[in-house]
Amino acid sequence: MRKLKIFTDGSSRGNPSPHCGCSYVIVENGIVLFSKGNYIPNATNNIAEMQGVINGLKKIEEMKKKESFEMIGVEILSDSAYVVNCINNRWYIKWKNNGWKTADGNNVKNKKLWIEIIGLYEKLMPTFTKVRGHSGNFYNELADTLAKKASASEGI
């Protein structure tokens, strides 16, 4: 049985920007198993943050299918309060019940990405932890560097 941590990040060179990137770093027992940055054209920082989570969870799903292992748990560590609070405070349940409207009646932004995150969340049941960005956490800093490089270079 395995316990995996996924550090995720997003980077936007402007908000919105034609140059965004996201990343994930999958860690087990202090060892980096996988890391990846992806270029995202014409997005916002929130979209980049969300895409990093999606990509990391998809990689876990792929690993489970290939290696067919059992997990004790998966933990997403993100510096995005938007992402972490949505899951931990169950905003998405209210949104779904309100026809994907916020409490003030506006359409939920990034609905398609939220639906994808929620689907992966319900399959894998990860915990979500908010980490402070740029606070010296090695893996969070690595995710930040990968996301920035991806936003600058159209992929790495």
pLDDT of residue 154: 57
Which phi-psi region, left, alpha or beta, contains residue 144 (left: φ > 0; alpha: ψ -120 to 50)? alpha
pLDDT above 70 (res 155): no
- Answer yes or no: are the C-beta atoms of 40 and 47 closer than 8 Å: yes
Domains along the sequence of the chain with CATH: 2-86+126-153 (3.30.420.10)
- Report the chain's C-alpha Rg in angstroms: 15
Percent of the chain surpassing pLDDT 70 = 97
- Could you report the per-residue pLDDT of 29-83, keeping only the tens digit for each? 999 999 999 999 889 999 999 999 999 999 999 998 888 777 779 999 999 999 9
The helices-and-strands tally (H runs, E runs) of the chain is 5, 5
Query: Where does the chain show beta strands of DSSP type E?
Result: 2-12, 20-28, 31-40, 71-78, 127-130
The values of phi and psi at residue 82, to 5°, are -55, -50
**Number of residues that make up the chain:** 156
pLDDT of residue 153: 75
Structure-model confidence comparison of residues 84 and 153, the more confident one: 84
- Euclidean distance between the first and the last CA atom of the chain, given in angstroms as a whole number: 31
Helix axes 45-67, 111-124, angle to 10 degrees: 30
* Average pLDDT for 23-29: 96
What is the average pLDDT across 100-108?
94
What pLDDT score was predicted for residue 2? 85
Average pLDDT, the chain: 92
Residue 144 amino acid letter: D
Is the omega angle on the peptide bond into residue 126 within 30 degrees of 0, that is, cis?
no
> What pLDDT is stored for residue 13 in this prediction?
85
The answer to whether residues 1 and 138 touch, using CB atoms and an 8 Å cutoff, is no
Tokens of 39: 């270029």
